[in-house]
Amino acid sequence: MSFSLSCSYAVKILKGEMSCIHRVLRQRLCHGLPGYRFMFHAEAAIKKPDEMWQKTCVRTNSTRSRNNIMRDKTKAIRTNVLEVIYGGSDKVPEGVPWTDSALPLEENPSDDEELDTGFKGSEIKQRAFLKESKAYERLSLDYINTLCVESESNRKHVHHFLTTLGENGSEKISQGNVTRNIRCLSELPHTERILMMKSSAMDYLGEYLCRAMPDMETETFVQSLLIFYWWDLSLSASQNTLIEKECLQRISSWDINTLLLVTDWWICMAGASSWTFHREMLSILRPSWTKLSAQQMVQAFYLCGQFKRPAQPLVDKLVLLAEHFVDELSITEIATICNGMIKVAGWLPHNSILPAVISAALSKDIQLQTDIEKYNVVTIMRFLGRSYHYDADLYIKLSQDLVPHIPKMSYLALPHILGVFARAAFVSTPLFDEVLRCFDHSKANLKDYYLTLWSFCRLNYTPDEFNSFLEAAVARIGEKEEWTDNSAFLFVKTLVPLSFVGKYPVELIHRIFSPVYLKKYAGRCPPDVYKHLYCLDCSIAIECPDYKGPRLPKSIASRSKLVPHGSSKVVGDEKQAYAEIIPILARVLGSKDALKVHPILDHIRTPVDIEIHLDDNNKPINLQESRNRTEESTTKLAVLVALANHYRKDSSELLGVHVMKRRQLKIAGYQIVEIPFHEWHQVRRQSREKKQTYLAGKIFDR
């Protein structure tokens, strides 16, 4: 069947007989293999986790993502058929329907498509790097593009082979021409392949390939895997097992290109999963890291990201390579590296310069015109935010460049943009205001609300529009009980930041502390859920004295005094700088027993909190002697040493959690004594007497 066929017949195929595509899609999407896996940690799978929450099943990476690849691939194939037949998309007659899966590729996707192919699991955008270099064709499923050739003899051979296979089944087909059959199948162009996919032979082709695999050479074996993918063949459990066995037997003899290509097949083939293969692949790749080219390194980051949690030593080696290759890569390739690092949830090696070199590369070339360019910028920003790299000039430039594009950006991207700026403690009021204006409540899910609310509350930025946004958010979260039922941990994390700005939605708090939800936390959430609950419970006790609803049981509160909020870590040389304050302050007070260094509010811990009591004569009280009594006339002081990371960047405005701490201390009867980091850094360069004078003024001359 060649493309000299009539237009009417082609339209008939596309309009009336596309059930073959729907059939294979159903086979791929609804295949018996559920594709679930246990989460991985380091090099081993958690097969028998100690905690119930660790058994949370996660779709293999991800079934939704692979389905997106399939859908867009099918869309491209069907579009290509129409364009070839009519000589271009602009020449397709009006009578031929462009269905939602055969729209011209350059048209903007609908809202529904954005839901599937946006920033959540968007394999199409994540795989955009494959178009950056011809070298990727040998490393990924795009390899089949280099195999395809226009050949009448190949077409006739495939047609004869499929006809015979459909009539006789796989068991009666001779294995003598396996190599040629597979070569011709893999070389057939997409447009001809799609027209043959309705053949009854599709039910037997996968079985035929699997029967022949043990005797195949490496090149033929790889081509047979590509046929499974590009011919949309369903994969049974027995075939999955057989292919996994074959791959594990052959993997040690493969070169790096073949290793990466087959790994890409396992990740993208819907219904297929082999975490044994992935672990073996990573163990082989690790000692070969110095041999990787720039493109192989980028592909390895992508694959590690799909695998989620590869061994940290391999990630460390890839990071070293990336530092070397960044200048040779495009922004799309850099975004692939960043996305891989985000997904593996690993940590950067000590003193890594990767964030700095990536930040410099982005600063030179911020492009926001196409969807891919916007996706790349947001992905790189997320990586820089998670690595706590802050470049003031870059954030200022990004905030200015992003604002005009916010209305046209995917709604899925907007919360992530806010999250990046909030993690860096950088407030761009035009950017934050524009996101609030463009936020679409009808499309948002719980994670979108969490990121948005956390960003505003962390930065303690609450413009007038925020209150109306919060009201709408609380109402929608309250309506969507399935969100809170299925994502209890995220539900808790969404409510806690509201306490930073003194907001306590009573109905949601009732739900969060209800016996039903307390049971959910025990079986389905990580232990961290309790520190968030503890902080929320303590905040309610202080700020909502009239609240009569359910609270956190004492049995849980007594064992959950973790470090939920604040900045318990002191960075760099600040440890010594702030340690000086305590002995000097003791001399000012006349005794070390006149002060107590401890978390004054147990649910908000910071490194240097000092409690001091003064009598009605403004004299220090010995806290050891008056441990069990506090006179009404006693003045309780909370001396708070404010570190640099307690503030917004380049600002004197405190972050939300520290504003909350001061508000709650005042309610609890304390007077706040501030020792800001910038004041103390100046004072500590002076003499001991000047330091004592400074601290005495803070305590006694309030």
The pLDDT tens digits of the residues spanning 354-410 come to 999 999 889 887 887 788 888 889 899 989 888 888 888 889 998 899 999 999 888
Helical segments of 487-566, H only: 488-495, 506-512, 515-524, 529-543, 554-557
Whether the per-residue pLDDT at 534 is higher than 60: the answer is: yes
3-state secondary structure of 639: strand
The answer to whether the CB of 165 falls within 8 A of the CB of 201 is yes
Pairing between β-strand 44-45 and β-strand 40-41 as defined by DSSP bridges: antiparallel
CA 231 to chain centre: 31
- Retrieve residue 2's tokens: 């060649």
pLDDT tens-place string over residues 39-65? 223 333 233 333 333 333 232 333 334
Helical segments of 570-655, H only: 574-579, 581-589
Specify the pLDDT at position 93: 53
**Segment 456-461 mean pLDDT:** 96
CB hemisphere CA count around 73 (13 angstroms): 23
Percent of the chain with pLDDT over 90: 38
- State the DSSP string of 371-435: HHHHHHHHHHHHHHHHTT---HHHHHHHHHHHGGGGGGS-TTHHHHHHHHHHHTT---HHHHHHH
User: In 55-140, which ranges are E strands?
Assistant: 58-59
Specify the pLDDT at position 660: 96
Specify the pLDDT at position 143: 76
Q: What angle do CA 321, 324, 328 make, to 5 degrees?
A: 110
pLDDT tens-place string over residues 580-629? 899 999 999 999 999 998 889 988 888 788 999 999 899 999 988 766 55
For residue 152, what pLDDT band results from cuts at 50, 70 and 90? confident
Alpha-carbon distance values, 71 to 27, 75, 116, 270, 483 (Å): 13, 6, 10, 11, 27
696's enclosing H/E stretch is helix 688-700
- Retrieve residue 646's tokens: 């307690």
CA 89 to chain centre: 36
| Residues found in the chain | 702
What's the start-to-end Cα distance of the chain, in Å? 92
225's enclosing H/E stretch is helix 218-230
The answer to whether the CB of 270 falls within 8 A of the CB of 28 is yes
Specify the pLDDT at position 90: 56
Alpha-carbon distance values, 490 to 44, 328, 393, 486, 634 (Å): 26, 39, 33, 9, 42
CA 566 to chain centre: 24
Sequence-distant (≥ 6) Cβ neighbours of residue 129 within 8 angstroms: 136, 298, 302, 330, 332, 333, 335, 336
Whether the per-residue pLDDT at 101 is higher than 70: the answer is: no
Q: From CA 102, how far away is CA 76, in angstroms rounded?
A: 7
Q: From CA 672, how far away is CA 675, in angstroms rounded?
A: 10
Say which residue, 638 or 307, is predicted with more confidence.
Answer: 638
CB hemisphere CA count around 233 (13 angstroms): 26
pLDDT tens-place string over residues 558-571? 665 555 555 444 44
Among residues 454, 448, 455, 508, the alpha carbon closest in space to that of 484 is found at 508
659's enclosing H/E stretch is helix 656-667
- Retrieve residue 3's tokens: 């493309």
Specify the pLDDT at position 638: 95
Specify the pLDDT at position 126: 82
For residue 100, what pLDDT band results from cuts at 50, 70 and 90? very low
Sequence-distant (≥ 6) Cβ neighbours of residue 451 within 8 angstroms: 415, 416, 418, 419
- Retrieve residue 628's tokens: 């069990």
What does the mean pLDDT of the chain come to? 78
**Segment 176-180 mean pLDDT:** 82
40's enclosing H/E stretch is strand 40-41
Q: Roughly what angle, to the nearest 10 degrees, separates helices 218-230 and 178-187?
A: 50
- Retrieve residue 474's tokens: 């609380």
291 burial level (CB within 10 Å; 0-12, 13-18, 19+): exposed
Percent of the chain with pLDDT over 70: 77
pLDDT tens-place string over residues 194-251? 778 777 788 888 888 998 999 899 999 999 998 888 888 888 888 889 999 999 999 9
Main-chain phi, psi angles of 37, to 5 degrees: -145, 160
Q: From CA 441, how far away is CA 314, in angstroms rounded?
A: 41
Q: From CA 355, how far away is CA 360, in angstroms rounded?
A: 9
Specify the pLDDT at position 38: 27
Specify the pLDDT at position 47: 33
**Segment 481-506 mean pLDDT:** 94
DSSP conformational letter for 587: H
For residue 141, what pLDDT band results from cuts at 50, 70 and 90? confident
Residue type, position 36, single letter: Y
Specify the pLDDT at position 275: 81
Q: Roughly what angle, to the nearest 10 degrees, separates helices 63-86 and 256-268?
A: 100
Q: From CA 26, how far away is CA 47, in angstroms rounded?
A: 30
Whether the per-residue pLDDT at 497 is higher than 60: the answer is: yes
Q: What angle do CA 52, 53, 58 make, to 5 degrees?
A: 115
pLDDT tens-place string over residues 626-648? 665 566 678 999 999 998 889 99
Q: From CA 534, how far away is CA 536, in angstroms rounded?
A: 5
- Retrieve residue 608's tokens: 């240097």
- Retrieve residue 11's tokens: 């339209």
Per-domain residue ranges for the chain? 7-123, 127-267, 291-389, 406-479, 491-557, 574-700
- Mean pLDDT lowest for which of 45-59, 127-141, 416-430? 45-59
197's enclosing H/E stretch is none
DSSP conformational letter for 329: S
The answer to whether the CB of 106 falls within 8 A of the CB of 372 is no
Specify the pLDDT at position 403: 92
Name the CA radius of gyration of the chain, rounded. 31
Main-chain phi, psi angles of 310, to 5 degrees: -75, 175
**Segment 134-162 mean pLDDT:** 82
**Segment 174-186 mean pLDDT:** 82
The answer to whether the CB of 614 falls within 8 A of the CB of 620 is yes
Specify the pLDDT at position 170: 67
- State the DSSP string of 120-176: SS-HHHHTGGGGS-GGGGGTSTTHHHHH----HHHHHHHHHHHHHHHHH-GGGS-ST
pTM: 0.74
Q: Which residue has the tokens 């590869």?
A: 310
The answer to whether the CB of 646 falls within 8 A of the CB of 567 is yes
DSSP conformational letter for 93: -
For residue 333, what pLDDT band results from cuts at 50, 70 and 90? very high
**Segment 655-661 mean pLDDT:** 95
Strand partners, 673: 639
Q: Which residue has the tokens 């494959």?
A: 130
The answer to whether the CB of 528 falls within 8 A of the CB of 687 is no
Whether the per-residue pLDDT at 137 is higher than 90: the answer is: no
